[in-house]
């Protein structure tokens, strides 16, 4: 098996002595797939994203922290255009329905340049796979960054069995039409060139099939295979010394108060702003919570090269500062905004959360919604948006939050915070059963089965 994704499991930097130091890559894709691959000889091919990654790429295959990684040193300008403009500003916005259509997208000449870059990055990935993959290998290509790899390999290496998997939602057909016709055609043909295309949820697979049928006249082969955390690896990590220390620190900080938690990238689709506004609405309309609940938001910056993300981050900081200024005092900080991307601290918060808020506008799966219940030890209630792919598995055991309804979300938070212990316990048991029903092995087995 060869795994191919834009972001790899490791991010490299150079220390003062010029040695490479590897840290773990960001986001759901990496944390979901990494446990499958660690300590095996599976090759993972990924783009060099940092200067350290480029040094690693020039030194050849890297073996570190149990991974066998080949990073590709792509032309930095070309890579930036492909990643920032086509992947993150266009395809991510498209599939998450984030466009403000009266202004964006704009398919101007610089965009066309970026589109050429996207095609050339995909070609470079395909070439790397073609030269590295053993004969007859199953190649698992991940996400919207790499939609054209399968088509090149079909011609160059017909012995390979290439499967594509999207960790994002898929746009509704009417929205997909926003793309220029030629671009839409190339992308859909690229996807259709795989043995099959997989998604975390039925909804996204259906959107893809409908889009392909309407725009291309092709009914592609799909499968649905939600990813899940590895319960054993997660339990091990959640009981590490670093997490125990973080739990003690958190407990000292929170004291007798109730603990509301979220863990996310600072990402437009995650709906942080309405989450904080809902918390403020809770403090205002259920005043008994003033001074009695703390909202720990473990959110870390992402895609800082995009103006939309920078603006969103500063809006988040402004709203939180305003809420804390208006409501806080007497040793109580209502919202703790922790942007440190500290994994042990995140696990500690998930362990101790009375309520976990996962309220995305639209989300391929949302692994945190599964990790939370698996490590939580206080029968925490999950407040989950039905727009997360994980809703298909967890919806019956979670409380439903409409991501767009601010007072509605506040009412659900109130319901979660006041739920009777027996009801919390029953839901927690149910949540754990659903969240732990599958492991990453099931996901891998599904890909290999479709690959035939
Ligand atoms: C999501 C995507 C991944 C991506 C991750 C982090 O999980 O599905 O493909 O790697 O976000 O985003 P980034 O742009 O930082 O890699």
What mean pLDDT comes out for the span 99-107?
97
Of 23, 27, 90, 200, the residue with max ligand 1 atoms within 8 A of its CB, to mutate for a pocket test, comes to: 27
pLDDT band at 302 (very low <50, low <70, confident <90, very high): very high
Query: Residue 146: which residues within 8 A CB-CB, separation 6 or more?
Result: 4, 5, 6, 122, 125, 164
Q: Is the CB of 360 under 6 A from ligand 1?
A: no
- A 10 A CB-CB count for 177 gives 14
pLDDT band at 165 (very low <50, low <70, confident <90, very high): very high
Question: Contact 199/166 with Cβ under 8 angstroms?
Answer: yes
Reading the block at residue 293, the tokens are 């609940």
Compute the distance between CA of residue 427 and CA of residue 170 in angstroms, rounded to an integer: 30
Q: pTM, whole model, 2 decimals?
A: 0.97
Kindly report, residue by residue over 352-391, the tens digit of the pLDDT.
Answer: 999 999 999 999 999 999 999 999 999 999 999 999 999 9
Q: How far are the Cα atoms of 25, 206, 207, 438 from residue 174, in angstroms, in the given order?
A: 34, 13, 10, 33
Q: Is the CB of 168 under 6 A from ligand 1?
A: yes
pLDDT band at 345 (very low <50, low <70, confident <90, very high): very high
Kindly report, residue by residue over 434-447, the tens digit of the pLDDT.
Answer: 999 999 999 999 99
Phi, psi of 388 (to 5 degrees): -90, 140
Q: Is the CB of 28 under 6 A from ligand 1?
A: yes
pLDDT for position 26:
80
Question: Is pLDDT at 23 greater than 90 in this prediction?
Answer: no
Kindly report, residue by residue over 166-183, the tens digit of the pLDDT.
Answer: 999 999 999 999 999 999
Reading the block at residue 383, the tokens are 């407040």
Question: Is pLDDT at 64 greater than 90 in this prediction?
Answer: no
Compute the distance between CA of residue 315 and CA of residue 334 in angstroms, rounded to an integer: 17
Give the position, in ligand 1's atom list, of the atom nearest the Cα of 87.
Answer: 14
Q: Is the CB of 303 under 6 A from ligand 1?
A: yes
Omega cis (within 30) before 105 = yes
Compute the distance between CA of residue 64 and CA of residue 12 in angstroms, rounded to an integer: 10
pLDDT for position 3:
97
Compute the distance between CA of residue 397 and CA of residue 414 in angstroms, rounded to an integer: 17
pLDDT for position 24:
82
Q: For ligand 1, atom 16, name the residue with the nearest CA.
A: 7
Q: Is the CB of 167 under 6 A from ligand 1?
A: yes
Question: Contact 293/257 with Cβ under 8 angstroms?
Answer: yes
Tell me which residue of 12, 28, 24, 124 sits closest to 61, measured CA to CA.
12
Q: Is the CB of 7 under 6 A from ligand 1?
A: yes
pLDDT for position 62:
87
Say whether 263 sits in a helix, a strand or coil.
strand
Compute the distance between CA of residue 345 and CA of residue 250 in angstroms, rounded to an integer: 8
Give the position, in ligand 1's atom list, of the atom nearest the Cα of 29.
Answer: 7
Residue 28 Cα to ligand 1 midpoint, Å, equals: 7
Question: Is pLDDT at 31 greater than 90 in this prediction?
Answer: no
Residue 427 Cα to ligand 1 midpoint, Å, equals: 30
Question: Is pLDDT at 57 greater than 90 in this prediction?
Answer: yes
What mean pLDDT comes out for the span 333-342?
96
What mean pLDDT comes out for the span 154-159?
97
Q: How far are the Cα atoms of 12, 41, 194 from residue 71, in angstroms, in the given order?
A: 10, 16, 23
Of 92, 167, 341, the residue with max ligand 1 atoms within 8 A of its CB, to mutate for a pocket test, comes to: 167
Can you count the helices (H) and strands (E) in the chain?
Answer: 19, 16
Between these two residues, 401 and 30, which has the higher pLDDT value? 401
Q: For ligand 1, atom 5, name the residue with the nearest CA.
A: 27
What mean pLDDT comes out for the span 81-89?
98
Kindly report, residue by residue over 202-234, the tens digit of the pLDDT.
Answer: 999 999 999 999 999 999 999 999 999 999 999
């Amino acid at each position: 098996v060869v795994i191919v994704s834009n972001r790899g499991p490791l991010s490299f930097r150079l220390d003062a002595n010029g040695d490479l130091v590897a840290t773990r890559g960001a986001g759901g894709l990496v944390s979901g797939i990494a446990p499958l691959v660690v300590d095996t000889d599976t090759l993972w091919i990924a783009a060099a994203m940092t200067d350290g990654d480029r040094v690693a790429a020039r030194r050849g295959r890297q073996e570190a922290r149990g991974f066998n990684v080949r990073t590709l040193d792509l032309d930095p300008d070309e890579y930036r255009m492909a990643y920032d403009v086509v992947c993150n500003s266009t395809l991510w916005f498209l599939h998450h329905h984030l466009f403000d259509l009266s202004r964006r997208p704009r398919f101007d000449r610089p965009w066309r340049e970026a589109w050429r870059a996207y095609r050339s990055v995909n070609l470079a990935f395909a070439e790397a796979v073609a030269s590295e993959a053993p004969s007859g290998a199953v190649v698992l290509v991940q996400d919207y960054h790499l939609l054209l790899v399968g088509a090149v390999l079909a011609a160059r290496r017909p012995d390979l069995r290439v499967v594509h998997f999207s960790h994002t939602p898929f746009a509704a057909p009417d929205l997909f039409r926003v793309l220029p016709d030629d671009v839409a055609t190339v992308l859909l043909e690229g996807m259709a060139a795989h043995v099959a295309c997989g998604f975390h949820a039925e909804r996204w697979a259906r959107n893809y099939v409908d889009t392909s049928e309407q725009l291309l006249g092709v009914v592609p082969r799909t499968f649905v295979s939600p990813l899940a955390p590895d319960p054993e690896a997660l339990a091990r990590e959640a009981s590490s010394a670093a997490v125990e220390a973080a739990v003690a620190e958190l407990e000292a900080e929170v004291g007798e108060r109730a603990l509301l938690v979220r863990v996310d990238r600072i990402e437009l689709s995650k709906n942080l702003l309405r989450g904080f506004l809902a918390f403020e609405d809770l403090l205002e309309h259920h005043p008994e919570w003033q001074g009695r609940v703390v909202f720990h938001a473990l959110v870390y910056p992402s895609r800082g090269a995009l103006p939309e993300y920078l603006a969103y981050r500063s809006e988040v900081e402004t709203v939180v500062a305003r809420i804390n200024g208006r409501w806080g005092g007497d040793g109580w900080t209502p919202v703790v905004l922790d942007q440190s991307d500290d994994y042990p601290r995140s696990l500690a918060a998930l362990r101790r959360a009375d309520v976990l808020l996962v309220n995305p506008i639209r989300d391929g799966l949302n692994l945190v919604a599964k990790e939370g219940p698996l490590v939580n030890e206080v029968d925490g209630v999950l407040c989950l948006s039905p727009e997360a792919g994980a809703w298909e598995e967890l919806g019956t055991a979670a409380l439903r939050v409409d991501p767009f309804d601010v007072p509605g979300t506040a009412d659900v938070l109130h319901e979660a915070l006041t739920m009777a212990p027996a009801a919390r316990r029953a839901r927690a048991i149910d949540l754990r059963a659903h969240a732990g029903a599958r492991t990453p092995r099931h996901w891998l087995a599904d890909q290999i089965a479709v690959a035939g």
